[in-house]
Amino acid sequence: MSEPKRDLVESPEEAAATGTLAARISLSQRAGGVAVPVATIVLAFLIGGLVVLATGHNPLDTYRDVFNGAGLNWFFHPTTSTQGAAAYNLSQTLLQSTTLILTGLAVAFAFRCGMFNIGGQGQYFVGLVVANWLGVSFADMSLLPHALITIVGATLAGAAWAGIAGVLKATTGAHEVISTIMLNWIAFYMASWLFGDGGPLQTSDPTRQTVPISNDVARSAQLPVIWGTHGFQGLDIGFLIAIAALVVFWALINRTTLGFEVRAVGFNPDAAAYGGINVKKNLIRAMTISGAFAGLAGALDMVGYLYHYGQLDVQVSQVGFIGIAVALLGRNTAVGTFLGAVLFGGLLYGTTQGLSSNVIQPELATNLTYIIQGLVVLFIGADLLILYVWNSRRRLRPRRAARAPVKAAA
């Protein structure tokens, strides 16, 4: 008889009773492989579909149009010229995904160190603001250095902003969820004021003196476009930078001593300290790196395709929060974050594009994304529910799950 093994996920109640939020979520994420995120998505889409149904439309039509609106039909008609609508839509989906990859990584990295970074939105604003300021200044520089300075400056600013929460946690024990939420509001009002009427970053164009929108960043700071047309929101090389960020994330976590420390602290700070790892240093460092990802998101949006930003944009932006759903759904891994970002990028763009009032109530269109996002976070946050379903499925069919870990036999 093989030695009975202890099962990590067998007693969720016990673990949840003692563990932190991060421990609970990492617990739920170990259960059931990819089945749980897939089930989460399916369930979220089903309930989203019910909402559509309640408004008197056929959810299948809606989802088909969202799919096409996101440009995903391009994969079935790739020979259509790049000027085609599908190609344009797909490029827009990828543009949204660029942001979400990075705001997702901002959440995922902190998570791997056992912290819940809710502050991606604020860190993103800080990145946007600094990128706009640097991109508008130094207008006479040449392209590469100017874009580089802008991106690096905004990334560092995002890192520093998140670092505040890290320092507070390491020194005073202030919970990062509370401090990052507060930092979000500070960044929100700061950006509102900076871009607002009379604010320091408001446009200098004398004909638009009362418009609460910033100047465009200089041409020398604008990133080259790789798919589509510059000036028409073509897909810029920011997308490739986001892909590179995924690789950096993966390598940092899995192939460096820094990642080793981050993961050790994330799983078990007591054991990490015993191992000789400086836990406080890692909390600060992980939070800072998290913020760098979100700051980079703001920078790439600014120099990639937005070029300017306004007070109203500040009020409606949600990308930092969607990043939470992206990371949770992607189980805080690089590949998962990419898939989650493309999914939500497609939803964000697909629901605004080409949905006729025949298939969905216009008021519902954009909000469908947020409903699904909310459901995803809710389901993953309600890990106990999912674990319960998962475990009772196993209890009901014990013999079939021959490869599953075994409840300790004594």
> Does residue 388 touch other proteins according to CB under 8 A?
no
**Cα→Cα distances 26→126, 251, 264, 284, Å:** 29, 20, 13, 20
Out of 272, 294, 328, 347, the only residue in the binding site for other proteins (CB under 8 A) is 272
Give strand ranges (E) for 43-98: none
Q: Are 148 and 183 in contact (CB under 8 A)?
A: no
Q: Which stretch binds other proteins (CB under 8 A): 259-267, 292-300, 359-367, 375-383?
A: 259-267
Q: Which residue has the tokens 């096409």?
A: 68
Q: Locate 188 and state its tokens.
A: 């929100």
> Does residue 405 touch other proteins according to CB under 8 A?
yes
Euclidean distance between CA atoms 190 and 323, whole angstroms: 21
> Does residue 258 touch other proteins according to CB under 8 A?
yes
Q: Are 348 and 97 in contact (CB under 8 A)?
A: no
Out of 35, 54, 211, 271, the only residue in the binding site for other proteins (CB under 8 A) is 271
Out of 233, 268, 366, 367, the only residue in the binding site for other proteins (CB under 8 A) is 268
Euclidean distance between CA atoms 214 and 311, whole angstroms: 9
Q: Which is nearer to other proteins, 140 or 270 (CB)?
A: 270
Euclidean distance between CA atoms 261 and 276, whole angstroms: 10
Euclidean distance between CA atoms 286 and 288, whole angstroms: 5
Euclidean distance between CA atoms 8 and 14, whole angstroms: 11
Pairing of the two strands 225-227 and 235-236: antiparallel
> Does residue 36 touch other proteins according to CB under 8 A?
no
Out of 230, 255, 281, 393, the only residue in the binding site for other proteins (CB under 8 A) is 255
Give the nearest distance from C-beta 396 to other proteins in angstroms.
13
Kindly report the number of other CB atoms within 10 A of residue 254's CB atom.
12
> Does residue 409 touch other proteins according to CB under 8 A?
yes
- What is the pattern of x (binds other proteins, CB under 8 A) and - over residues 284-323? ----------------------------------------
> Does residue 22 touch other proteins according to CB under 8 A?
no
Out of 228, 259, 323, 336, the only residue in the binding site for other proteins (CB under 8 A) is 259
Q: Which is nearer to other proteins, 144 or 402 (CB)?
A: 402
Q: Which is nearer to other proteins, 181 or 258 (CB)?
A: 258
User: Looking only at Cα atoms, what is the longest distance across the chain?
Assistant: 83
> Does residue 402 touch other proteins according to CB under 8 A?
yes
Q: How many residues are there in the chain?
A: 410
Q: Locate 111 and state its tokens.
A: 């998570």
Q: Are 135 and 217 in contact (CB under 8 A)?
A: yes
> Does residue 55 touch other proteins according to CB under 8 A?
no
Q: Going by C-beta distance under 8 Å and a sequence separation of 6 or more, which residues neighbour residue 278?
A: none
Out of 189, 232, 274, 388, the only residue in the binding site for other proteins (CB under 8 A) is 274
Euclidean distance between CA atoms 59 and 359, whole angstroms: 8
> Does residue 3 touch other proteins according to CB under 8 A?
yes
> Does residue 273 touch other proteins according to CB under 8 A?
yes
Kindly report the number of other CB atoms within 10 A of residue 247's CB atom.
10
Q: Which stretch binds other proteins (CB under 8 A): 141-149, 184-192, 272-280, 311-319?
A: 272-280
Give the nearest distance from C-beta 22 to other proteins in angstroms.
12
Give the nearest distance from C-beta 163 to other proteins in angstroms.
20
> Does residue 33 touch other proteins according to CB under 8 A?
no
> Does residue 46 touch other proteins according to CB under 8 A?
no
Out of 25, 41, 101, 264, the only residue in the binding site for other proteins (CB under 8 A) is 264
Q: Locate 191 and state its tokens.
A: 């950006």
Q: Which is nearer to other proteins, 65 or 261 (CB)?
A: 261
Kindly report the number of other CB atoms within 10 A of residue 186's CB atom.
15
Q: Which stretch binds other proteins (CB under 8 A): 53-61, 162-170, 228-236, 398-406?
A: 398-406
Residues that bind other proteins (CB under 8 A): 1-8, 14, 26, 30, 254-261, 263-264, 267-268, 270-278, 398-399, 401-410
